[in-house]
Structures are given as C-alpha cells and as structure tokens.
Structure 1
Amino acid sequence: MHIYTGIFFTALATLVYEITLLRILSVMSWYHLAFFAVSTAMLGMTGGAVTVYLNKKAFEPENLNNSYIKAAIAFAVSLPVSLTLLCFTPIVYQHNIASVTRILLAAFYCIIPYYFSGIVITAILTREEKPVGKLYGADLGGAAIGCLAVILGLEFLSAPNMILFAAVIASIGAFIFSIRSKGTMLKSASMACVALVLAVFIGNIISGDFISPRTIKGHKSDTRKFYFQKWNSFSWVNVSGMEFKRPYLWGTSPITPDLPVKVHGLSVDGEAGTFMLNMDDMANLEVLKYDMVNLAHYIRPNGGSCVIGVGGGRDITSSIVFGHDRVVGIEVNPIFIKLLKGKFRDFAGLADRPGVELVADEARSYLARSTEKFNVITMALIDTWAATGAGAFTLSENGLYTVEAWKVFLDRLNDGGVFTVSRWFSEHQPGETARIVNLAVTALYKRGVSDPSKHIVLTAIGNIATLLVSNKPFSDEDLKVLRETAERLKFKIFIFPGQEPENEWLRKIITGKSIEEINALVKDAPLNYTAPTDERPYFFNMIKLNNLSFAWRYSAGGISGNMVANITLLILIGALMFFVLAVIVVPLLAGAKKDANKVDYAPAFYFALIGAGFMFVQIAMVQRLSVFLGHPVYALGILLFTMILSAGIGSLVSEKIAITKPPLSKVYPVVIGGYIITLALLMPVIISAMTTFSMAAKIASSIAMVAPLAFVMGMCFPAGMRMISGTKAAGTPWYWALNGIFGVFASAVVVLISIYSGITTNFYIGALCYLSLLFFIPKMQVMAEVKAKAEANVMAEEKAKAKTKVKTKAKVKAKAKKKRKK
C-alpha cells in the first residue's frame, strides 16, 4: 500500500508544481513563455526515464527501492531550490547572448524537479513488480487531485508558496516510500526532508514572500512592496498605492484638461493595467469624457450600459459620468469584483451605488443567458496576457473575439444600441483593428444586415482605435454628433458611413459585398484579418505561416507581444523536434547495436501514439469547452480533473478485464477513435443548443462528454505495459519516455493546428492516433506470446533439471545405502 500512496503524493506534487509554474512564468515573462513550462515538465520527466533506462544496476530489484527513495527526497528538496533560483533570475527579451543564457538557465531551473519526479514515477511504473494498472491509476489519481489542489490552494496562498506547499507534499511522499526501506538512514533523511521544506514553507509565509519573482516582464520588482496583491489559478492582481493625479486615459484627447482625482493603479500579471477611481469629486471625473474609448456615450448617454471587463471599475465610472443610471459590469476575474465589493468598497463607491451591478462571470456566457438589453456595451482593450493551467498559450479573452460572441453582444443591444470595442492600432498597419472591423462586418452579415458600412464608425488617436458598431444604421443625428465630437477632441476618423476609408485593408473589409468576398480581398494581407470563429478562436494570433518574418519587423502596441508568441511557439516546436531526434531516435539507434534488449518498433509506436493522441484530444476538449463553460477555472478544474481521474479509474479497471487479448484488444482502439470522431461532430451542436443553460447543466454535460472517453483512454497505457512486460523489460523506461515526449510534442503542435486549421482537426488527428494502434497491437501480442512460450520452455527445462537432480540424488543415496549394507 505504501508504494501506491507514495506515487499518489509524488504525482500530486508534480501537477501542483507544473500548473503553479505556469502562473509564475506568466508573471515573470509573457504568456507564450509560460507555455514552455508544459514542455519543461515532459522534458525533465523524460530525462528521468532515460536515467532509469541507462542506469540499470541502480534500478535492479535489490536496489530499486532505495534508488527511487533518494530521487523522491531530491524531488522535494529541488522544488524550493529551483523556485528560488528561478525567482532571482531576470528574464528579459533582448537580442544578445546574455538574455538567451538567462532564459536557458531559467528553463534548466524549471526542469530539475521534473527530472527527479520522472525518475520516481518511471522506476515505479516500469520496474516495480506490482499491477501496472493500479500503479498508473494511483499516479493519475494524484495528478487529478493536483488540479483541484491548485484552484483551492491559490485562493489562500501565493504562487511561490503553492510550490513550496508542493514540496511539502513531495516530502511526505518520500517519507511514505522510506517506510519500506530496511535501513534507518533513508528514513532519517526523509524525515529531515519533511522538516526542512516545511520550515521553508512556513518561513516564506511569515516573511511576506521573500521567495517571489524579482523580475516582472523584464523590469525589476519586489512583489512585497505592493499595496495589495492576490493570486488565483489564472492571474496575479496587484494594487499600487493611492495617487492624486489625472487618471490615465487610453485614447487621450490633446485638449484633455488636467483634472486630478484619487486613483489606485491595478495590474494583472504585472501588465494589462487598469485603474480604480475615487468618485468623491464628480466634477474632476469629467476628465473621462476626453477618453476616446467613451465616444459611444456621446450618442447614447443613457438607457443602460454594460461593461465587459470591469478591472478597477473605470469604465463603469465613465458610464455614470455620462448619465447612465443602470450599469452592469461583468468581470471574468473574481478578484476585481471582490476588491470593489470588499477592501476598496468605500474608495471606488460602485458596489453601493443604486443601479450598478457587479457580476463575477464570463461576459459572453452571462449575456447569452441574460434577457436584459443595453444602449451601450463597452469592451475596451480586454486582454490579460495571463497563462492558465488549462492551456498556457490561450488568452482567456479569446472567446470574446469571435463571430458567435459578437452576435450575442449585438443581440443584447436595444434597437440602435452601440457595441464599442477598442484595440491597438497603427495607421500604416491596422493589425488588430482591421480584424475587429472584419469581425463586426461578418457578425452583421450573419445577422442579415445588407450594408454593414452604415452600422460602423472607427476613430483613432495614437496607437489606440475605437470601433462603434450598431445593430441599426447610424442616424444622421448620430453621425453629426460623432463627427463634431471627434473634431473637437482631435480624434481622427478612419471609417465613417458615406466615406471610403483611406487605408487599403480597412477599405477592402468595409466595402466587401459578402463574407466570402472580404476573405478573398484580404487573402494577400501581411496578417490574418479573417474574422475568428469558435472553431478558430485565436483572435490575437494573426501571423501567417508564409510570412513569419513579418513578426520581427512589426510593432504596434500590445500586438507585438502576440507576434513574438507565435514565433516562440514555432521555435518551441522546432526545438522539440530536435529533442526527439537527439534524445530518442539517436540513442535508440545506437542502443540497437549494443543492447541485446533493444527497443522494438511496435511498442515504440504504440506508446508514442497514445501519448500524442491523449494530448491532441485533451487540449482540443479544453479549447472547445472553455468557450462553452466561459471560465478558465472551470476548464482547468473540471475538464482536466475529470479527464485525468476518469483515465485513472480506467487504468484500475483494466486490471480486471482481458483487454490485452482478442477481441477486446481490437475493440478498445476502435471505441476510442469512434467516440472522438462522434464527439467532434456532435460537440458544436450540443454547445450551440445549451448556450443559455445554467452553469450547473453545462458542467454536467461537459463531464458526461469527457468522462467515458477518458475512462477508455486510461486503459491504453497499462494494456500496453502488460503486453510488453518482460519481453524486453530493460527497455520499458524508453516506452514511458516516448509516451511523454510525444505528448509534449503534440501539446505544441495541437495549438499550431488550432490556430491555422481549427480545433476539430485536432480531434480527427487524435482519433487517427488511437485507430493506428490496431497496426501495432498484433505485433505486441506476438511478442507477449513468444515471451510466454520462452518462459514456459525455461520453466520446463528447470523442472526437468530439478527432476534429474532429484533422480541423481536418489541414485547416489541408493548406492551409498548399498555400500553401508555391504
């Protein structure tokens, strides 16, 4: 029982470390580097698997227990050490050797704990004489609980302290393993390890997080100096001290008066700034009327306002200043709502104001369920750059920038209401702005509008553009007010009913007579200006594969960070391909010449396919259902927990059935492949039909879709291990390594495919991976039969030898007896 409990705690600590590391890297760097945390996990664990394979003597039966106890202790100790080294390593994006070296060092620090965890898990799964289904089930069970532990833990602990808590869990796992040790040295060492990491954990809490990131987005920072800070599973929010100054405006008019107010600055993961304004001095808050993002309020100053992305509440304050007596603020991050209703309730003055409603929910999901309509819906520069455990490359706001989402927003407007969106802009290269214009045009065409150009106005100043979209053509009075206001406040008009835009790409989009014609017109644009959909919801990822060099040349506000993200992803895929060749293929080819126990191709393909297939399906499911559930925490906590736990249960059940023999051995790949294809076809229909359902119903339906598939997928690994067990036992760690490395390789490729081909494609590739197992299972069964026959022959020979020895001994005794009688 000790071994099952030990691997459970080790897997739990590993998952907590992996998901929390995403959060820390998202704070220290941009979200695209946080994606690299997923890769370092599998690279480190694969390194551990390689160690088990090469160091055969250390993992022979007589040494096995002590070897993985030592690795478990090293895993627990390495967590606080690696965390400290990482936090004090500045990650800065510069084109020099020092910057590259620091990034490589940071990656190395991240890998160290995974390496020792990989040794522990690989040694147990491939060397222990225990039912592999039960061992794998315990491993996945710990990982599943780890998903929930992060969500709950980060409500009370900072991310650095969460990793230190993972170290405590890991040390408990090491102590449980040591109970089986015959000597006292390892038991004493494991107890000392528990005491040490527990002391570091408690000490860091008392010190106010001495171990915490000292470089945030390339700038030196001491997180302990913030006025207030709070972590959760998908963000780190900090509040700076109060200042008395003119508030920062996104689209500042050149004639803006210097009207100071009391203000707190807030940020998410060190960037994506927002502000909280004090409402005591309403006269000075008139300064908000000089911000271009509030232009829609000049033609719709009352009648109800909805703000998507509350942040510090500034856009709600703007609605009140213009005259709206009913304002609904919707914020996906509950931390902001808690601040406005709790610690800063009196300062902001919004929670107690009549007519103001603050909602902690995902805006699209909330508005799809709601029947309330508004005169203005505002979405001003909503992006957080925050990596979530559900998919570190995916911005949580991507679901807000799709055609389906904008149809929902336009439906929630009163007749003649205005949906206003502000994004980054460059006059010479419109970038994100061109894409939101196409989004607006496409959504209007989808609603049956014959001439979208009469429904759209676009203004800009500096590097900010503001788009106004109405579900009805703008009236002559609306256009008169907008033009006069833009001229008075010195905002430049780029799109206006009755006049053709000067910019080539804006002109092609706004004058296109159909969605198909527009897509044809922008086909040769340097960036992808097509309107994102729920099938391809990556609004921020605009690079074309045939124009990658553009990312290095282009810079326009925040979009440049997304350009770097795309390039980083492609570099990561290239690095992973090199890693597969260097660490897997080359050693296998070299080992084939030297090792009698060489790795066979059939099980190698089998384990590589189930590793890749699982990731293709898992990430595609998370991408699809994240939009459906409308919140990154639900995707992380429910989907990953359900998938991993169901797979663990499937692994346990596989020990009870003859899954390695016909007919079941031919059935389970077909069941999995068929289920995936069916899910790919039906899931969009189910999601569309349940858009307005309650969150409880959505969660239940998600679990119902995910659990059965994950249950059967969880049988694949133990089934494969049982088929090859003993055939070339020394090579089994390689198969575990292959499973992991192709899993992480797939995790990078699946994102690339989602961006450029669509989420459904990943389902089909995942199904193909599982169906392909049918080609390799027969070969593995033959290997198992050969092994069984060989073992039978060996046993027969040993029995024959034993009988011969008995007969010989009997003859010797008989002869001796005769001699004594004589």
Structure 2
Amino acid sequence: MQELILNIKKKSVFVKLQPELIKDLSLTFFFAFSMIMFEIFLTRLFAVIFDYNYVFLVISLATLGIGIGGYFAYQFPILFRSLYPFALCGQGVLLIGVTSLIYLTPFQGITFYSILSTVPFLFTGYILASIFQKLHTKVHVVYFIDLVGASLGASLAILLMNHLSPIPMISMLSLALFLVGSILVFTQLKKAAKVMLIMILALLMINIFSPFLTTERFLSYQTSPYTTFSELEGNIIYSEWDSFSRTDVYDAKDGDFLYMTIDGGAVSSISRFDGDLNTVDYLQMNTSDLAFQNPKEKERALIIGSGGGQEVLSAEMAGYSKIEALDINKGSFNAVHSLRSFAGDVFERDGVETIVADGRNYIRETTNTYDLIFLSLVTKQSDSGLGLALTENFIYTNEALRDYFNKLKENGQLSFLLHDEKELAKVIHSAESYYQERGIPSNEIKNHIAVVGSQHIFGHVVAEPGSIERPLLILKKHPFTEKEATKLFDSAANIAQLPLHVPYRFDHYKDLANRLHDTAIPFKANRDAQPFFFHKNDGIPSFLWIGLILISLGTSVMSLIYRKQVPVGSMVYFSGIGIGFMLIQVTLIQRLTLPLGHPTWAFVIVLTTLLISGGIGSAYSTKWKREEDRRFVPILLVAFLTSVVYLLIHFYYQSELALSTFQRTLLVITMLIPVGFFIGMPFPYGMSRLKKHQISISWGINGLMTVAGSIVAAMLSLTFGMNLTIIVGIVVYLLLFIFQPLLKM
C-alpha cells in the first residue's frame, strides 16, 4: 500500500488536489462504515417486528437503494456539489430519523418499512457513486477505502450491539457522523447555519444521555402482528437486546409464571420457584417431562434450548445429578438470573452447568457422554446471516442426529419436543435415515421410536381432534424393551397426554408414518448442506420471487434506458461479479456457521476477512492489469481458490477434527484471505476500463445485481442446497473469465 501511494504522489495532480482527495476518501470510509452498521442494525430492528423471512425481503429491497443511487449520480451530477459539504451531517440525521420513524410509529407493514429504509441506502449510493466517478483514475484506492470502512463497520456494529444494544449504537453512530461532518464544514457556514448545526448536535448529544427511543415508546414492536404478546396482554419487566436477539420477559399476571420471548416469539415459561421442588411438581404433568422419566440411568443430561429453566427443574425431579443447560442465547440465562427473586436462580443450582453455545457445535466438541440429550422447542431461526442470508441452525439435520447418537451412552435416549407434525415428520425422516445407515431393518425401526402428543399444557387443552400438537419424539440406540414401553405408555396415560406410537403397547407407527410422509414438506431440506428445518413447504417462498422479480424488472428498465451510455458487455460484467460475489459470500457465511460455532461469529469473521483482504486486493489490482491481456487472471483465481476453500470446508464436515475455537477461527481466516484478496480485484479492474461518465451507471448495475445475488443464493440454497449455490457462484466467475474478450468492455 505504501508503494502504491508513493507512485501516485509522483503525479503533480495528486499534490494539487491532495486536501480534497483526503476529504473524498474520508467520506468514502465513513459512508461505507456507517451503511454496513445501519444495515446490520436494521436486521436486528426488523427481526423483532417481522417474521424472519420478511426481514430478509425488507433488507433486500432497502439495499437496492445503493444501486439506484448510482443511477441518480449519473442523472443529477450537479446535486453532488450541493450535498458534498453536508454529506456526513445529512447521513447522521437520516439514520436517526429513519430509525425514529420505524421505532415510534405503530406497525405499518412491509411496503412502508421497505420504502423508508431505502432512503439512507439511496443517499449512500448516490454519494459513493459520485465519488467513484469523480476519482475515476483512482478507483482501486477508493474501493480499498470502501471495503476497509465496511469491514470495520461490520465488526464494530456487532461489538457495540453486544455491549450497548442496537438503539444506543445507532444513536452514537448518528452523533459521530454529525460531529465529524460539522467539524469539516463549520468554518464554511454563515452564523445562522452554525447555530442550527449546534442545536442539532445538542439534540443528538442529549439523546445519548437521555434517550428518546425508550422501550415504552417502541410502538412498532408493541403493535406488530408478528409478536406473541401485545402491550395489553402483559408488561415487559426485563429486556435485553444484542446482536443475536432481543430477550423480553412479560408479566401476564398469571401468578406462577412469567413468559420469556426471543425476538417477539419463541415463548418459554419461567416458573415461580423458591428452591423446593415440590412447589413445581406440576411440571410432571407436561409431555416434556416424559423425556426425563424413561432412561435407565440418570446421571448426566444435556438440555439444548434450556429457555426459562423448566426442563432443568424436570431433570432434577427425575433424579439427574449432572445437568448441562445449553442455550445459544445468553439473554435467556441473564433474564432468569436477573429475576432470581421469582425464579430461584434455577441455573445456579448445584449440579447445573450453563453453556452459551450452538448446540450442534457443542455436541461435536464435548467429550462428555449422556444418558439423555433433550432438544426443547429450539426455534431461534432468524437472521443468522444478519440480513445477508436465510441462514438456519444445524441442530436438526440428518448429520446432527448422528452427532447426538455418538455422544449418547449405550442405554441413552435422544428426545425432541417439537411444535407440530411437520417438524415431527422431518425429524422422524432423519431418524429413519440414521437407523437405515446403521443397518437396522425397516420393519424394526419402529421399536427404536416413541411419539407422544400433547393433549394439554398445564391443564389448558391444546390439541384439536385429529391434530398433533407439541409432540415428544423419543429415539433410542437400541430397541425399547417391553418394560420401558409399558412404563412410557402408562406415564403418558397418567398425565392425560396422547400416545401416538409406543412400541408393543400402542404400535401405530405405520399409520403415523403414512400420515407424516403424506405431508407436503421438503424432507431434503434437512441436511448440513441444506439446513432449512423451518422451511416447511415445497417450492421457493413467494417473498423471494417478489424480490427477484422487482430487481430484475428494475435492472432491465435501467439497462434499456442507459444502453447507449454503457456497453452491454460492461453491464454483463458488473452484473456477473455482483451475483457471483454474493453467491460465494452468502454460502461461505452459511457453511462456516457450524465450524465457527455461532452465526454471529461466522458473519463477522467471514465478512470482515473477505472485505479487508478484498480491499488490499483492490489496492494491488493495478499490478495485475496489462492492456495486452484479453482476460483478467484474478477472475480465474477467485473461482479456483473458492473451490479449494469449499473442499476444505467439506472435509471438516466429514471429519471429526477436535480443534479449539481459536484454532478453527485462525484456520478459517487463513483460508479466506487469498479468496478475498483476489475477489476484491475484478470490480476496480472493470471500473478502470470505463469512461468517467459510465462509472456511476456501472456502480448502479453492480449494486442492483449484488442484491439479486443474495436472493438467488437464498433460492438455490433452499431448493437445491448450499453446494450447488457455491458451484453456481464459481461457474459465474469461470464464465466471466472465459468470455471476457467477447464482452468488449
């Protein structure tokens, strides 16, 4: 980088324009830095007021603004001169203003939030495209600053949200942008403008110490149809919000219960507990308690998705001496501890160990073996990719069942408490695959499986005639004995729950299997390469088609309008690198979630590594460009190195490597640096071959197709799996390299 700057300094034009160049590069950094932070913030904000599928759609539509901003930069170049001095101040006001409108107004729907959220992205796209066009001879330097700013913004966003929560983070970001912008422009302003600037700055500072956006004023959350509790149904008595989830505890005036929600849903109950297990013996009436009663030995139990701690109490009552309570959301543990005067600090009891981790990653790494592994309504299914991908967890996949069984003792038991028959169908399908792989005859598999449905929960009837509600699925390495089956059947009958299949005593497996297999759900979407357990319907979700159609139409219209300004070959090139980049990036984030142990950690490591190394690659891209070359070799190297990395990831999934978190992280970073280095070169290379007036339009095309790429990645992963998704990304780069001479850029 130093050598690059020295070479540029030799040109007198750089010396002449140096102060303005520094300001341009500073603007580029701060806009890239702030926009990625705002995008990550929006995923957390929308995750609590929308279903997770719609979060992806809203963010995708909003980020179209970056691409559309490129077209505005071409159409209205004169406006840039007016906005330029106040750009950072404007960005600061926009971010806090849009956030306030979303936060303080009652729920408005997808269209409103998509349009409103687009505004900051549109402004950012306009400013950045204008700067790229202005500094068209230094695109590789500008792109370096752009990617470095984005990478630092992504990392800092996660850090600040974990320590401050999302709303204080966006308040601080807005203040910082406005403050820097004010410093840059203050001396150029008249007295009245200076006074206005100081007043706005004062308001932003007051907002830091006395926030306007309090929990009580979060109207969009309180009135959202996607949240479990409304303001009228209960008061929030505890709230915690970080980069992974928002945890709220409601007092619904039920006396013995509080209710904890994750991102407005995924409810788990917290029981009033004073340390005497007799006061919570009513838990033995629930279907979930049957999971703890059946195993012969009751030494060690692992509870994945420990929620409000009721399963821990059930395990204690059943006689387990060592209980590992695991939850990927640390907010659950913090909430119960904070409310210990009510809940008795159940997770701090003797023999109980709390673990904050992804269940699948933990089971692969632990050396413990268990009498019982119990997964209780594990439903955190939101934006693990933080708006960039529909990433699910890996705890229900076919391969996951093998990992669980490997950590069971010989007489151990694997149990799942599920929501409905579609989830039951998927897990039973995976269980059948596991037993078949072990060589168990098809007609004997039924003796390894028991299913009990919930007739009631705490006395409240939940099962309609003919329906399957909250089924408990019990799987064993070896067949149930008649004594075990009889005990389970009698226990279910004694608490008035509904046996659906119990070997020997209530053998209805054939009828149950036929019913479940007739359910129209994608059974194949339950593998590590396609871990979309909560994708319960065949086909591609309509919201993805809506997003892709809108982007395709918009890009087609823009391409027709500006076809005389930018050659078709250039449009194809910038579309290709936009789509290809997202197919690779999204899939790497998805596939590395399991090795890295947490979706948020995977997002930070993959995105930061690719962006920083991509920025360095951009800075060095001129060294790879020769006018006599008809093809740009780094495009081919992207395809080759991505293939190597993906083969290594596949090897990890197939192996049983025992590496520490630090070792896995270091290995992932080392693998990704070469990919990122070369993936950062094609964009500045393509820009360097354009005329100045073509840059903003090409920026727009690339921006739109980057969003299209993330949607295509989701569609391919849901339908065919991640392996095909990244293969398509690799093929896109290969085709660009092969046909590059024909593009005539």
Question: TM class by shorter-chain length?
Answer: 0.7 to 0.9
Structure 2 residues without counterparts, runs of 5 or longer:
1-21, 455-462, 464-468
**Is 1:740 the counterpart of 2:703 in the alignment?**
yes
Cα deviation code 1:714-736 (max 9, x no counterpart): 11111111111x2xx22221111
Aligned residue for 1:540, secondary structure, equals coil
Could you tell me whether the CA contact under 8 Å between 2:306 and 2:376 is conserved in 1?
A: no
Match of 1:730 in 2: 693
How far apart are the structure 1 equivalents of 2:347 and 2:492?
32
How far apart are the structure 2 equivalents of 1:392 and 1:56?
31
**Is 1:576 the counterpart of 2:548 in the alignment?**
yes
Moved more, 68-77 or 6-15: 68-77
Cα deviation code 1:4-53 (max 9, x no counterpart): 22221111111111011111111011111111243134211122212111
Aligned residue for 2:633, secondary structure, equals helix
- Residue 201 of structure 1 and its aligned partner are, at CA, apart by 3.9
Could you tell me whether the CA contact under 8 Å between 1:639 and 1:706 is conserved in 2?
A: yes
Match of 1:308 in 2: 304
Q: Which of residues 364, 387, 394 in structure 2 aligns to 1:368?
A: 364
Go from structure 1 to structure 2 and tell me whether the alpha carbon gap of 1:770 and 1:173 turns closer, same or farther (over 3 Å shift).
farther
Go from structure 1 to structure 2 and tell me whether the alpha carbon gap of 1:4 and 1:479 turns closer, same or farther (over 3 Å shift).
same
Equivalent runs, 1:137-536 vs 2, <5 Å: 137-172=144-179, 174-175=181-182, 178=185, 194-204=201-211, 210=217, 213-215=220-222, 217-218=224-225, 220-221=230-231, 226-241=236-251, 245=255, 261=256, 263-277=257-271, 278-300=273-295, 302-340=298-336, 344=340, 347-391=343-387, 394=390, 396=392, 398-425=393-420, 430-450=421-441, 451-461=444-454, 462=463, 463-498=469-504, 501=508, 504=511, 506-507=513-514, 522=517, 525-530=519-524, 532-536=526-530
- Residue 464 of structure 1 and its aligned partner are, at CA, apart by 1.2
Aligned residue for 1:376, secondary structure, equals strand
- Residue 665 of structure 1 and its aligned partner are, at CA, apart by 4.4
AA at the equivalent of 2:639: G
Aligned residue for 2:164, secondary structure, equals coil
Aligned residue for 1:599, secondary structure, equals coil
Go from structure 1 to structure 2 and tell me whether the alpha carbon gap of 1:653 and 1:188 turns closer, same or farther (over 3 Å shift).
farther
Go from structure 1 to structure 2 and tell me whether the alpha carbon gap of 1:742 and 1:375 turns closer, same or farther (over 3 Å shift).
same
Go from structure 1 to structure 2 and tell me whether the alpha carbon gap of 1:352 and 1:130 turns closer, same or farther (over 3 Å shift).
same
Cα deviation code 1:229-265 (max 9, x no counterpart): 11111100012349664xxxxxxxxxxxxxxx4x432
Aligned residue for 2:346, secondary structure, equals coil
How far apart are the structure 2 equivalents of 1:586 and 1:756?
28
Q: Which has the higher contact order (CA 8 A, sep 6+)?
A: 2
Could you tell me whether the CA contact under 8 Å between 2:69 and 2:124 is conserved in 1?
A: yes
Aligned residue for 2:471, secondary structure, equals strand
How far apart are the structure 2 equivalents of 1:216 and 1:394?
25
**Is 1:715 the counterpart of 2:731 in the alignment?**
no
Structure 1 residues without counterparts, runs of 5 or longer:
92-98, 246-260, 510-521, 546-565, 784-822
Go from structure 1 to structure 2 and tell me whether the alpha carbon gap of 1:222 and 1:203 turns closer, same or farther (over 3 Å shift).
farther
Could you tell me whether the CA contact under 8 Å between 2:292 and 2:372 is conserved in 1?
A: yes
How far apart are the structure 2 equivalents of 1:153 and 1:223?
32
Go from structure 1 to structure 2 and tell me whether the alpha carbon gap of 1:690 and 1:201 turns closer, same or farther (over 3 Å shift).
farther
How far apart are the structure 2 equivalents of 1:469 and 1:20?
41
How far apart are the structure 2 equivalents of 1:264 and 1:711?
51
Match of 1:585 in 2: 556
Could you tell me whether the CA contact under 8 Å between 1:309 and 1:330 is conserved in 2?
A: yes
How far apart are the structure 2 equivalents of 1:389 and 1:112?
23
Q: Which of residues 59, 74, 93 in structure 2 aligns to 1:77?
A: 93
How far apart are the structure 2 equivalents of 1:179 and 1:603?
41
**Is 1:679 the counterpart of 2:642 in the alignment?**
no
How far apart are the structure 2 equivalents of 1:357 and 1:434?
32
Aligned residue for 1:237, secondary structure, equals strand
How far apart are the structure 1 equivalents of 2:213 and 2:52?
29
Go from structure 1 to structure 2 and tell me whether the alpha carbon gap of 1:417 and 1:224 turns closer, same or farther (over 3 Å shift).
closer
How far apart are the structure 2 equivalents of 1:472 and 1:486?
21
How far apart are the structure 1 equivalents of 2:193 and 2:73?
20
Could you tell me whether the CA contact under 8 Å between 1:456 and 1:469 is conserved in 2?
A: yes
What is the percentage of aligned positions where both structures have the same residue?
Answer: 23
Moved more, 636-645 or 272-281: 272-281
Go from structure 1 to structure 2 and tell me whether the alpha carbon gap of 1:107 and 1:13 turns closer, same or farther (over 3 Å shift).
same
How far apart are the structure 2 equivalents of 1:493 and 1:117?
58
Match of 1:603 in 2: 570
AA at the equivalent of 1:587: M
Match of 2:57 in 1: 36
Moved more, 80-89 or 362-371: 80-89
Cα deviation code 1:463-499 (max 9, x no counterpart): 2111000111111210110111122222222223256
Cα deviation code 1:376-402 (max 9, x no counterpart): 111111102432344566465x30011
Could you tell me whether the CA contact under 8 Å between 2:613 and 2:676 is conserved in 1?
A: yes
- Residue 296 of structure 1 and its aligned partner are, at CA, apart by 2.1
Could you tell me whether the CA contact under 8 Å between 1:233 and 1:389 is conserved in 2?
A: no
Aligned residue for 2:619, secondary structure, equals helix
Could you tell me whether the CA contact under 8 Å between 2:417 and 2:470 is conserved in 1?
A: yes
Could you tell me whether the CA contact under 8 Å between 2:73 and 2:127 is conserved in 1?
A: no
AA at the equivalent of 1:236: R
- Residue 208 of structure 1 and its aligned partner are, at CA, apart by 6.0
Q: Which of residues 746, 767, 770 in structure 1 aligns to 2:730?
A: 767
- Residue 757 of structure 1 and its aligned partner are, at CA, apart by 0.6
How far apart are the structure 2 equivalents of 1:173 and 1:743?
30
Count matched residues.
Answer: 703
TM-score by length of 1: 0.80
- Residue 434 of structure 1 and its aligned partner are, at CA, apart by 1.0
AA at the equivalent of 1:471: K
Go from structure 1 to structure 2 and tell me whether the alpha carbon gap of 1:192 and 1:705 turns closer, same or farther (over 3 Å shift).
farther
AA at the equivalent of 2:642: I
Match of 2:126 in 1: 119
Could you tell me whether the CA contact under 8 Å between 1:459 and 1:492 is conserved in 2?
A: yes
How far apart are the structure 2 equivalents of 1:345 and 1:777?
68
How far apart are the structure 2 equivalents of 1:411 and 1:473?
16
Go from structure 1 to structure 2 and tell me whether the alpha carbon gap of 1:775 and 1:181 turns closer, same or farther (over 3 Å shift).
farther
AA at the equivalent of 1:23: R
Go from structure 1 to structure 2 and tell me whether the alpha carbon gap of 1:503 and 1:199 turns closer, same or farther (over 3 Å shift).
farther
Match of 1:813 in 2: none
TM-score by length of 2: 0.88
How far apart are the structure 1 equivalents of 2:67 and 2:635?
25
**Is 1:46 the counterpart of 2:67 in the alignment?**
yes
